[in-house]
Structure 1
Amino acid sequence: MKLIAILFLCSTLLTSLAQGDQQQEFVCNDEDLLKAVDAALTKYNDGSKSDNQFVLYRITEGNKTVDHDVLYSVKYEVKEGNCSVQSGIPWKECDYKESEQAATGECTATIRKRHRDRDFSVTTQTCHVTPAKGPVVTSEYECHGCVYPITTVPHDLDPVLRHAIQHFNNHTDHSHLFAVKEVKKAQRQMESGWNYEVTYLIEQTNCSKENFKVLTRDCKALLKGNTGKCTDLAHVDPQLRITSFSQKCRFLSAEDFFIGCPGCPSEIPVDSQDVKRVLSHSITKFNAENNAAFYFKIDIVHRATSQVIAGFKYSVEFTARETTCSKESNKELTESCETNKLGKTLRCTADVYYLVGEKKRIETTVKCQSPGKKQLRPCVYKGQPRDAGAMPTFEGEAS
C-alpha cells in the first residue's frame, strides 16, 4: 500500500484560552487539531449528495476555547477526491482529482471535544463549494440537540426580536414604546425546530403609546430615555412559528453602565453596531494610507474592547485579506470586492477615538503586519495505508 502525500499549508492558528486569555501557535503535528478537522470533513462527506468525497487541502484559520469542554473553530479548504461517497473509503485514503475536473470548497466549522469521553462532535458547519464548472453551492449543518452561540446574528433571529419587543410594549405600563438597541448574546438549539435564548438591550423611543400603537420608522431613540436589558426564551417550529415564549426584563440604572473599573477597557461583542462602525473607519483608513495595488477587506474579527476616556476609545483586533479590486480601477472598497484566495493576509489592530466636546472628532490608528515566514509552517500532509487505523501525520517540508 502506498502513502498518499499531499502538500498542505498549515497557517498560524491562535489559541484563545478562556483562562488567562493566553495565545499559542497551533503546530502541524497538533493531533487534536487534525482530529477536529477530520470529524468536520467526515461529517460533510457523509451528508454530501455529490458523487465524490472531498479531501482536505489546507487549514487556513483556527482557534480553540477551553472551558468545561474544548471548542475548536476552524476554517479549511477542500478539493474533490477520486473516491465516491458510496465507497465507504475514508477521505484520508483518497487522492485529488485532476485540477481542471475537481470541485473546490471552503468550510467554516465549530467542533466540540468533550472532556468526559474525548469524542469530537461537529456543532456547526457551513461549506461553500465551487464545482469544476458551475455556480457556488452552500451547504449548512446543525447538530441536533446541541446548544451553541450565535456570533453573528442571523436573519432568522429577526422574527424572535420583533415578537419580543412587541411583547414587551404590550405587557408594560410605560408611556412610550421601546425598540431593540443591541443584541448582547444569543444561542440556538436545534430540537423539533429551534430553541433560542437571546439577551439584548432595549431603548425608549419618542413614540408615545397614546399616539402610536406599534413601532414605526418615525420612532427614534430618545437621547436621555430609559434603557433596559431583556433575556428571552423562544421556540420556533419548522414552519417558523413561535410556539412558546418567555421574557425577563429590567430597567438599567446609571450604576449598571459603570460596573468594574471606570475607564478600563471592557470586552464588547464583535458583531455589535459600534464595532461595525469602528471597522468601517479602520479599513477605510488602512486602504487610504498603504501603497498596496489592491484593496483589503476585513475577514475575521477576533476581539473588541471599549473604554471611556474623554470620549470613547475602541480597540479591535482583526484579520484583513487582499481583494480582487485594484485601486487603479476602483475608487473605493465596495461589498462586491471579493477576497483573493491567493492574496496577502494581514493581522491588524485598530484604535478609534471618538472625542467629544468642542473638538469633537474621530481619530483612527491602524497597524497591520503580515504573518511572515516565522508564523507560516509549510508542511507535507502524509496519509496512511488503507489498512492503518492511525490518524495521518504532518511532517516538515524539508523532510
Structure 2
Amino acid sequence: MGRALGLCALALLSLQNTLSGEVLIFCDDPTVDKAVTSAINKFNEGMHTGHKLALFQVMSASKVQNGSYWLKFTTRRSSCSASDATPWTDCEYLPIDKKPIKCNATVHMNETDTDTEHVDLHFAQCLGCPEEIDQNSEDLKVPLSVSISKYNSQSDHTHLFTLNDVGPATRQVVAGFRFKFKFDMRRTKCAKEEHKDLQEHCTADPDNELANCNSTVDMAPWRQELPNVQLECGSGAMPPMILRRRPPGWSPLRNILIQFPTASPKAPPPSDAPPKTKEAKISGKEESSEEDLAKPSASPEDSLFHCPSKPWKPFHPLRTGQNSMVAFDFGKM
C-alpha cells in the first residue's frame, strides 16, 4: 500500500513539473553528478583563501527544456586549501564543521559541453561571529608569537620550545580581535638557564619532544596594550586532523619577541566528581543531538528520486575529548 502511494505521488510530481517545463530527475543520476561536479569546480576556481569545498549530498535535481539543470546540494569544507592544485575529489572533509553548507546551482549541459551559470552558497553568517583564517596568514604572527613566549615563560620545561605546526584558526571581532587556534611546538637545543627567550639559533631536532596548545588571544593594537593570552596545553603533537606546515622561512618569532613575567602554574583545585544529575543527562542528550547534524539527511532508497543522495564520502566530526588537555591557569597579563 505504501509503495503504491509513493508511486502515485511520484507520478503526480512528474506530471506537475512536466507541465511547467521542469522534470525532476534522480539525485544519483550520472548526469546530475557531472553537473554538480562542474558547479563545485567553478566555485573553487574563484576562491583565493580558505579551503576548497567538496560535495556532501545532492538534495534535489531537475532538468528544464533548454537543457539546464537546477540543483540543490550540500558541501563541506575540505582538507585542501584554495591554492592547492589537488582536485576536491581527492580531498577529505575538515572534521571541525558540524553543519554542511547549502548550495544552489544552474548548469547548462549537452553531449559535449558543461557550463555552470551560477552557484549560490548559504553560509550561517552573523556580525561578530568567528571566521576562519588561513593558518599561514600574516595575522597569526603576533598571536602565535605571544602564545609561544607565554608557554616558554610559564612551563616547567628546562628548554625553550619553538613552533612546529599550526592547526585550525579563527578570528572574531569583539572589543578588539580574538584569535583562536591550535598549534604544536618542538623542544629546541636552547636551555632556559642560558637563554631567556627564543633566538634564531634555537633550532629543534626532528626527534625532539612535542607540546601542543589551544590558544585564545585577545588584542587591540590601537590601544597599545599587551595581548591577553589564555592557553590550554598538553604533551605530544596535535590530535589527528588537517595540519598545515608553515612555509619555508615563515617564522612568527622573526620580528616580534615579547617576554612575559614568569610564574609557577597554579595547581588545579581538588575536585570530587559529583554524581550525575538529571541536568547532566539532558546536557549529554543535547550534545548528541548536535552530533546528529553531521549525519546524512535520509536514506536515498526510501525517498522519491533517491533524494537526498548518499553522502559522497563519510564525514567523521572531531569529537570533544579526543585530545586530553592539561590546562595551565596563567591568568591575565
TM-score norm. by structure 1 comes to 0.34
- Which protein shows a greater Rg? 2
1 or 2 for the larger relative contact order (CA 8 Å, sep ≥6)? 2
Higher helix fraction (1 or 2): 2
Question: Structure 2 length normalisation: TM-score?
Answer: 0.40
